[in-house]
């Protein structure tokens, strides 16, 4: 296969346009975001129409001929760039010389919170990109129907978030920019129970749900709050019940992503029993 000429100038128009996607503002204006690294880009290429443009270093084009072929098959604009130019778009360590410009993927709330939805994961005021990405990956693994990030949460198209999803961003529908009350109201109207994960004064214990009348096999929207302060009182008010992961030892709490993993998989387990 004939490769295009190598772009060696960071001043190239294509590079400068793609680099704008490093900021939230640039992503919003273009409706595009960057995915870096072979794993993310492989998943992006497998997702119909997700990739708009592909940047590879010469070394990456050599070790990943399948990316070159996919670009040619799908008429995706392919640029071969120097290592130095690639650093304008991504951390070279994580990207391994592979960066894709992708179309934003978020969908409407009403398209995912339906009467068939079994498990929805809602992030309310989650601010750490790594946590958000890890929970999207967890939700995908648990077979959840969708992930919703409320308007005050981290940008799902942030490079760290995209990387932490390990490709799951291209598997599971994501909704952004909605208020928590809007989500919980629709979930309830569609017959889902709305559970808040809350370490403090929760009404229910995840490991002893029946003792307090909680049915974890029911269709559920799980709401996870901020990593530092958890759920605010006004956010708890729009949920149906609060549930705590029991702490059997001396730790004060769990970190957000591990607590979310335990809750989400406990619902997935109960729903399949």
Q: Interface with a second copy by CB under 8 A: which residues?
A: 134, 137-144, 166-168, 171-172, 207, 245-255, 257-259, 261-262, 265, 268-269, 272
For residue 4, the minimal CB distance to a second copy (Å) is 31
For residue 190, the minimal CB distance to a second copy (Å) is 20
122 vs 139 by CB, closer to a second copy = 139
For residue 202, the minimal CB distance to a second copy (Å) is 15
Q: Do residues 151 and 112 make contact, with C-beta atoms less than 8 angstroms apart?
A: no
17 vs 270 by CB, closer to a second copy = 270
151 vs 255 by CB, closer to a second copy = 255
40 vs 223 by CB, closer to a second copy = 40
Q: Do residues 195 and 240 make contact, with C-beta atoms less than 8 angstroms apart?
A: yes
First and final CA of the chain: distance in angstroms? 51
173 phi/psi in degrees, rounded to 5: -65, 140
Q: Do residues 218 and 186 make contact, with C-beta atoms less than 8 angstroms apart?
A: no
141 vs 241 by CB, closer to a second copy = 141
For residue 90, the minimal CB distance to a second copy (Å) is 20
68 phi/psi in degrees, rounded to 5: -65, -45
Give the Cβ contact number of residue 254 at 10 Å.
Answer: 16
For residue 252, the minimal CB distance to a second copy (Å) is 7
Q: Do residues 20 and 53 make contact, with C-beta atoms less than 8 angstroms apart?
A: no
The torsion defined by the Cα of 265, 269, 271 and 273, in degrees rounded to 10, comes to 180
């Amino acid at each position: 296969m004939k490769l295009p000429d190598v772009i060696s100038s960071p001043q190239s128009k294509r590079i400068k346009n793609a680099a704008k996607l490093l900021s939230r503002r640039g992503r919003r204006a273009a409706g595009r975001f960057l995915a870096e690294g072979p794993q993310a880009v492989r998943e992006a290429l497998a997702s119909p129409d997700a990739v708009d443009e592909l940047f590879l270093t010469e070394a990456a084009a050599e070790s990943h001929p399948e990316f070159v072929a996919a670009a040619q098959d799908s008429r995706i604009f392919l640029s071969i760039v120097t290592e130095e130019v690639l650093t304008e778009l991504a951390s070279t360590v994580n990207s391994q010389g592979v960066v894709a410009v992708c179309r934003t993927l978020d969908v409407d709330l009403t398209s995912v919170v339906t009467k068939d939805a079994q498990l929805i994961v809602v992030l309310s005021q989650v601010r750490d990109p790594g946590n958000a990405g890890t929970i999207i990956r967890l939700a995908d693994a648990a077979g959840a129907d969708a992930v919703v990030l409320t308007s005050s949460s981290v940008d799902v198209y942030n490079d760290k978030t995209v990387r932490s999803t390990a490709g799951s961003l291209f598997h599971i529908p994501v909704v952004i920019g909605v208020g928590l009350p809007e989500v919980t109201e629709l979930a309830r109207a569609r017959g889902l129970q709305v559970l808040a994960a809350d370490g403090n004064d929760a009404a229910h214990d995840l490991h002893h749900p029946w003792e307090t009348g909680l049915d974890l096999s029911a269709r559920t929207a799980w709401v996870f709050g901020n990593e530092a302060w958890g759920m605010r009182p006004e956010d708890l008010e729009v949920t149906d019940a609060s549930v705590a992961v029991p702490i059997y030892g001396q730790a004060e709490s769990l970190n957000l992503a591990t607590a979310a993993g335990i809750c989400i998989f406990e619902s997935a387990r109960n729903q399949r029993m």
